[in-house]
Structure 1
Amino acid sequence: MVGLAKAGIHGTTLLSVPLLALLFGGKGSSGIMLPMLIAADIFAVYHYHRHANWRFLMKLFPPAIVGVILGTWLGESIDDALFVQIMAVIIFLSVGLMLWLEKRKSAVPDNHAFAIVTGVMGGFTTMVGNLAGSVMAVYLLSMRLPKNVFIGTAAWFFLVINLFKVPFHVFVWETINWETLQLDLIALPLIIAGVYTGIWLVKKISEAHYRWLVIVMTLVAAAALIPRSL
C-alpha cells in the first residue's frame, strides 16, 4: 500500500496507517511507518525526479518544517480522535473546493498564503499521523499540475520532509529503534514491488482520469478516517 501510494496511486497509505496503529498504537506505528515511507519516497524520486516543480516545493518546505516542529511539540498531548475528526472535515471541505474549481475550470490563486497554510498543515499532519497525503493532493491538484509533475513534486516533498522528521522520532519520541528497523527491512521487498506496480498502473491512466482518481481516493481516505474518530 505504501509503495503504491508513493508511485502515484493516491490514498492507499491511509489504508495501511490504521492497520499498523491497531498492532502498535498510534505513536508507535508512526515510527515504524516512517522508514517505510522514506524507502518508497527514494524509489519514487528516482523514477519521477525530473518531473518535480521546484517553484512550488521551495514555497512549501519552510512552512512544512514549522509544521513538523509544531507536530513534535503538540503530538504527545493532542487527542487522536479529535485530530482525526478535524482532518476528515478539512479533507471533505477541501475536496468540495476542488470539485467546485473543477466545474469552473479555475485554480486556487498561486499565492504564498495558500502555500504557507498548506505547508504548515502538511508538516503537522505528517508528523502527528502520517496523514499529509490528502493535504498535499488538494494543493497540487488545485495548481492543476500534470500527472507526472504531480507525482514528482509530491515525491520530493515527502522525501525531504520525512528525512527531516527522523531525528524527532529517534531522539524526542523514541519511536524508531533497531527493533522497528528490523520490521521495516522485512517490508522493504514488498514496498519496492508496490512502487513499481504503481508506476506501471499510472502509465495506464490518462491525465483526465488520473485527476479524478486522486479526487475520489482523497474522498475515500477522508471517509476511512471517520471510524477511527468514533
Structure 2
Amino acid sequence: MEPSTIFILLACFITGISKFSVGGMGMVILPLMMLVFPGPEALAVIVPLYCLTDMVAISTYRKNINWGLLIKLLPLCAVGVLGGAIMLKGIDTQLFITVVGITILLLLLLSFWLDYFPLPVFTNKYAVWIAGPVVGFISMVANAAGPLMGLFLLEQKMEKQAFVSTRCWFFMTTNLLKLIALASIGLINIDTIEMSLVGIPALLLGMWIGYLIVDRLPQRQFKILVRIAISISALNLLFLKGK
C-alpha cells in the first residue's frame, strides 16, 4: 500500500472517530490529508466525507433542535464560508500551509486558555454576529471550527440533547455550503472524488470504533493525546513551509 493511501485512510479513520470524540480532534484531520494533498485540494477530499458522517449524525439526533438559533446563525456562517472560499481561490500552496498551521496553533492555544478563563465575547447578546462569520471562515479555510462552535453553543445554556442535535445540524449545513463553495472554485475534481471514495471504508470503521470505545476512555487523558497530535500536526505544517 502506498504511503499516500495510508495517510488518506488514517485521516478518514480519525474523521469517523471524531464524530464521537472530545472537541478538537478534527484539527488533526486536515494536516494529515495535506501530507498527500499539500494545498486546498485536501479540503476537497475531506468535506464530502464530513457530509457523509453528518448525514449519519442527523439521522441519530433529530429531536430538540434549536431552529431559532440555527436560522440566525447559518446565514452569517454562509458569509464566513464565502469569505474563506474567496481566500482559497488561487491561493499559493505554501501560503495555505502556513495559514492552516498558524490557525490550528492559535485555536489550540485558545483551548488551553479556555480551560482556566472564560471568553466573554460568546456570552454577549450579539455573540451570534461574531460566531457565525468566524466559525464559517475557520471551517472553510482550516477545517478547525468545532471547538469554537462548541463553546458558542455551550454559552446558549441548552440542555444536552438540544446541544448535540443543534451542533449536528449546524455542521451538516455548513459542510454542504463548503462542498458547494469548493465545487464552485474548481477544487473538487475527479482525483479528489476518487480519494474520498478510497477513504470511505476507513471512515465507516472509525465511526464504528468511536461509537464503541470513546465513551470508555478517560476524557482528560484522551484530550491530552488529541492536543499533542494537534500540536505535532500544526508544527509539521509550519516546518513544511519553504520546502
TM-score by length of 2: 0.75
Task: Render the CA deviation track for 1:47-105: whole Å, top value 9, x for unaligned.
Answer: 1232543343333212110100110112244833145324422442354135324xxxx
- What residue is the counterpart of 1:227 in the other structure? 236
How far apart, CA to CA, are the structure 1 residues paired with 2:209 and 2:215? 10
Structure 1 pair 69–213 and aligned structure 2 pair: CA distance change class (3 A): farther
How far apart, CA to CA, are the structure 1 residues paired with 2:43 and 2:68? 29
What amino acid is aligned across from residue 120 of structure 1 in structure 2?
A: P
Count of residues in Structure 1 that have an aligned counterpart in Structure 2: 221
What amino acid is aligned across from residue 58 of structure 1 in structure 2?
A: I
* Gap runs ≥5 in structure 2: 1-13
How far apart, CA to CA, are the structure 1 residues paired with 2:100 and 2:46? 19
What amino acid is aligned across from residue 102 of structure 2 in structure 1?
A: Q
What amino acid is aligned across from residue 187 of structure 2 in structure 1?
A: T
The partner residue of 1:178 within 166, 190, 202 is 190
- What residue is the counterpart of 2:135 in the other structure? 122
Kept after mapping to 2: 8 A contact 1:2/1:13? yes
What amino acid is aligned across from residue 162 of structure 1 in structure 2?
A: N
* Gap runs ≥5 in structure 1: none
- What residue is the counterpart of 2:28 in the other structure? 15
Structure 1 pair 99–56 and aligned structure 2 pair: CA distance change class (3 A): farther
Matches within 5 A, 1:142-161: 142-143=155-156, 148-161=161-174
C-alpha RMSD of the superposition: 3.1
Matches within 5 A, 1:97-108: 97-101=114-118
Percentage of pairs with the same residue: 25
- What residue is the counterpart of 2:106 in the other structure? 89
> How big is the shift at 1:204?
4.3
Structure 1 pair 185–82 and aligned structure 2 pair: CA distance change class (3 A): closer
- Specify the SS of the correspondent of 2:40: helix
TM-score by length of 1: 0.78
- What residue is the counterpart of 2:10 in the other structure? none
> How big is the shift at 1:146?
5.3
How far apart, CA to CA, are the structure 1 residues paired with 2:37 and 2:165? 31
